[in-house]
Amino acid sequence: MKIHFYKYQGAGNDFILVDNRENIVDHHNPKLIERLCDRRFGIGGDGAMFLQNKEGFDFEMVYYNADGQPSSMCGNGGRCIVAFAKFLGVIDAETEFLAVDGPHIAKISAEGDWVSLQMIDVNELNTDLDAYVLNTGSPHYVKLVDGLESRDVFHEGKAIRNNATYREKGINVNFVEPMDKGYFVRTFERGVEDETFACGTGVTAVALAMASHNQQTGHIDTPIKVLGGNLNIRFNYDGKAFTDIFLEGPAMQVFDGVVEI
C-alpha cells in the first residue's frame, strides 16, 4: 500500500504528517512508525502524526514518537499539524483541535509559517535537588547550567532520563542557560532517545520554571533560542499557577512524497 506523506519542521523539530481523515492508514503499528521515522531506512523524523476527523473539533492530532510508541503532547508537532491543516484547507486562520492532553486552540499567520499554540495550564511545579520538574503536556526536567553550547547533552540527558527516579516512565531533560534576552535551551527527548533540535513542551517548561526561579509574576514573554532556531513563550503567572500559555514559532513544510507501507 502506498501513502502520501508530508515532512514538516518547527525550529528543527521534524515530523512526518499524514492526512488520515478517511482512516486509510492503520497506524497502531509501532514497527511501521519506527521504520518511517528511521533516518537511514525510512523518511526520517522525530515523530509521526496523523490528522484525523473528530466530532466537535476541526481535527484530531494523533502523535507517535520515533520509537513507534504513542506519545504525550508534542508542542512543536502541534504547531506543525496546525500548519498542515491550513495547507489541506481544513482550517483558515484559527482552529480548535483535539490532542492527547485535551483540546488546544491555535492561530496561524496569513503566510502560514508562524503558529501560536495554546498549551495546557500548569498548576504544579516540583523540584529535584537543583532542578525543576513539571508537566506541560509532557513531563520535563529543567536544569540551569553554564557553558551549554559545549555541554554533552546526549550523555548527561540520557543518564538523567534513565536514572532510578525516571527510568520507568521516562522524562524529557532540558538544560538551560540565560542569554541577554531569554534563554538558550538544549533538550534530550524520551521516545526519540536523543537530543533534538527543539522541543516545544520543553521550552514551555523552561519558560515557566525560570519565571518561578526568578520570582516573576504577571504577563511574561520569554524568547528561547534552540539549536533549530527561535521560539517564544508567553503566559500569565500569579505566583502559584501558570495560565494562558502560548508556544509560538515557525512551522514549515519541507517536502512531500509517497512511501510504500
Query: Which residues are the active-site residues?
Result: 74, 199
**Under 8 Å CB-to-CB from 87, ≥6 apart: which residues?**
6, 112, 253
Please say whether the beta carbons of 129 and 163 come within 8 A.
no
Give me the torsion for CA of 257, 76, 12, 45, rounded to 10°: -40
The three cell numbers of residue 112 are 502560514
From the number of C-beta atoms within 10 Å of its C-beta (0-12, 13-18, 19+), residue 113 rates as middle
The neighbour count for residue 181, using CB atoms within 10 Å, is: 9
Q: What backbone phi and psi angles, to 5 degrees, belong to 252?
A: -135, 140
